[in-house]
Amino acid sequence: MPDTPAAAKFLTDDEKLWALRRMRMDASGSTAVDVDQEEFDWYWAKMALKAPQTYLCAAIWFFLLVPLYVGAPCLATTTRLTFDRRASLFSCPPSSPA
């Protein structure tokens, strides 16, 4: 995965210029470093791990997705839309402890 649009081999030169222009407009003075010279910094990764919003969002997604993935295999059993009732019953118990 390329770090910047300028390093993307799959973009044409016009598309690279357009993407860089859009990124500069979106930055709107938030950084003094140009888009082409940006580098990964562990400082920002540590800041993200220290931020409570990170864990709040992770908890929200966890508690939203767990019921979906537990309920989806049992959906055919609970709605009685299957043709073979025994096969649908075998799909429900392995998902229940999850």
Q: Which residue's structure tokens are 């931020």?
A: 51
In this predicted structure, which of 3-12, 61-70, 88-97 has the lowest mean pLDDT? 88-97
When pLDDT is cut at 50, 70 and 90, the band that residue 59 belongs to is very high
Cα distances (angstroms) measured from residue 30 to each of 21, 46, 79: 15, 19, 52
Residue 27: its pLDDT value, please? 65
pLDDT at residue 40 greater than cutoff 60? yes
Residues 56, 20: Cα–Cα separation, whole Å: 32
The model's pTM: 0.43
Contact 22, 35 (CB under 8 A): no
Q: Are 54 and 48 in contact (CB under 8 A)?
A: yes
Mean pLDDT of 69-86: 61
Handedness of CA 39, 35, 50, 62 (dihedral sign): negative
- pLDDT > 90? residue 53: yes
